[in-house]
Amino acid sequence: MGILDCRNLTKKYGADTALDNVNLELIPGRIVGLLGPNGSGKTTLIKLCMNLLKPTSGEILIDGMKPGPYTKSLVSYLPDRDILENWMNVLQLLDFYTDFYQDFDAGRAVNMLSSLGIDERMPLRKMSKGTREKVQLIMTMSRRAKVYLLDEPIAGVDPAARDYILRTIISNYDPEAMVLISTHLIADVESVLDEAIFIRQGRVDLFDSCDSIRERTGLTLDEYFRRTYHFE
Amino acid sequence: MFGKVFKYEMKAVRRILLPLYGAMILVALLFGLTTSMTTDFSGVGEGLPVIVDIAEIILSTLFFTGLTACGVITFVVLIRRFYSDFLGSEGYLQLALPVTTNVHLAARTLTAFLWTLLSGVTALLSLAVLVFIFSFEIQDLAGFFRDILNAIRSLEIPPLSMILLLLAGLASCLSGIAHLYASIAIGSLWSGHRMIGSVLAYIGTGFVWSTLDGFLGAALDNSSDFLPFHIAGIPFSLEYSVLGAMVLLALIQFILYYIAAWLILDKALNLD
């Protein structure tokens, strides 16, 4: 059994099928790319893992348990949107994470914040969009979690910020943890991935190690993606 | 975890509501002072500049609209907070916490209950400030409160009725909050236009309950005695029976709405 298992997982929105009979077994100690075009079901899969959506059929198990308070204590989640509470400043946000997550390493967060020159007393509502994204990423990566679910962490940020985000992920995740990075910007993340899941229209097209995919196809992941998912 | 969720909910709301309540009491104080000067209780108001009259008019408008605004803003802030916590972007932060749905819901219910009570206390306090300033020439604070107590005693309301009345008020407040939360939860089942869904759910559940309430109330009123009081050995009184039934019905309503909100948010919530 993996740290994250999907068994015949299906999610429908009315007549539309967002995920169709997905079966996956993700094991610890890997960085896995969840790769696919927009609307392929990447965010739906991650939200199901966090119990923010309920499956239509099938199940998800994290560390052998269905999503709930226990699994949420193991999973560090970075959503694809701004979720910070505007009334807080960074210090209050640090207290918030310390209060709710036993695995939160406040020292690590403070170091990362100071390396970026972020004023801890500045209200979050006064920060730029880019700074808020970095604060959100720092909070997520400052947990010593078993599973990291990062939904589009590099979408919509400039190339310099992308480098910072990827460096932060690589240098802060626990080697025993599983990191799932959802993105359609494959060239940017390819170098850090151990395994890749290619997903299209809610179905898993391919799940393999990155080395194996490159060896079999003779293509980089980005080239494979562009060839497989190109529009006529 | 309940204490932690409760702590952050109180913090999130207090930054808006506490200054509002403070401002309301300040307006009452200033309104009372200007009014007492212009009505010249003590004779010091003779020859006051016209600015004091203008200030009194502005403050009286502020005071009376403020009394309503306190209630309305409390209501809006609490609904908005609940809605965004469960259905908005904040839901991605709140619902990712290792906390059960019941704890989320219970902490928010208690928060809303306390702030609603506080808004009522603020309104009463504002009125008390006014009354106190108007009767300031007495210069006897203890006597002032003694007079109020005597006035209440002169109504000759039995203590049990007072307690039941208070309990009915508190239970209605709780059931009102749970009604709002259940309506938002039902609205979340809509795939789009969730806010409209919540409003329709509020109207629909309110209609169903008021019909049910009528039947239940009639059944309780027709009984010769209110069972809990009969068991407790309290002699029959129509007043006690009616008030007791009000408390009981409000509590039943609270429990039903709370369970509905909990079941929907726990089992069927799909965050956009």
Question: Could you report the per-residue pLDDT of B213-224, keeping only the tens digit for each?
Answer: 777 766 665 555
Query: Is the predicted pLDDT of residue A106 greater than 80, yes or no?
Result: yes
Size of interface A-B (CB pairs under 8 A): 59
Query: Is the predicted pLDDT of residue B76 greater than 80, yes or no?
Result: yes
User: Chain B closest CA to A214's CA: distance in Å?
Assistant: 36
Query: Is the predicted pLDDT of residue A4 greater than 90, yes or no?
Result: yes
Q: Give CA–CA dist B78/A130, Å, rounded.
A: 30
Q: Over chain A, what is the mean pLDDT?
A: 88
Query: Is the predicted pLDDT of residue A228 greater than 70, yes or no?
Result: yes
Min mean pLDDT across B150-164, B204-218, B244-258 is at B150-164
Report which of residues B4 and B42 the model is more confident about.
B4
Sole residue written with tokens 């212009």? B38
Nearest to A91 by CA among A49, A52, A121: A121
Work out the burial of residue B153: count CB atoms within 10 Å of its CB; fewer than 13 is exposed, 13-18 middle, 19 or more buried. exposed
Q: Would you give the DSSP letter of residue B42?
A: S
Residues of A with CB under 8 A from a CB of B: 13-14, 47, 50-54, 68-70, 72-73, 75, 77, 79, 81-85, 87, 92, 96, 99-101
CB A37 within 8 A of CB A182: no
pLDDT (0 to 100) of residue A232: 44
Contact A52 B271 (CB under 8 A): yes
Q: Is the ipTM here above 0.85?
A: yes
Helices (H), chain B: 2-38, 50-87, 90-94, 101-134, 141-154, 159-187, 194-222, 227-232, 238-267
Amino acid at A52: L
| B93 closest CB neighbour out of A51, A83, A99 | A83
Angle at A62 between CA A61 and CA A65, to 5 degrees: 65
> Which structure tokens are listed for A203?
């179905």
Q: Give CA–CA dist B130/B35, Å, rounded.
A: 9
CB A205 within 8 A of CB A41: no
Chain B residues whose beta carbon lies within 8 Å of the beta carbon of residue A54:
267-270
- Quickly state the pLDDT bin for B135 (edges 50, 70, 90): low
**Cα nearest neighbour of B100 on chain A:** A69
The pTM score is 0.83
Chain B residues whose beta carbon lies within 8 Å of the beta carbon of residue A85:
12, 90, 93
Angle at B223 between CA B219 and CA B228, to 5 degrees: 100
pLDDT (0 to 100) of residue B60: 77
Q: Which helix (H) or strand (E) holds A47?
A: helix A42-49
User: Chain B closest CA to A227's CA: distance in Å?
Assistant: 32
- What's the mean pLDDT in A152-180? 79
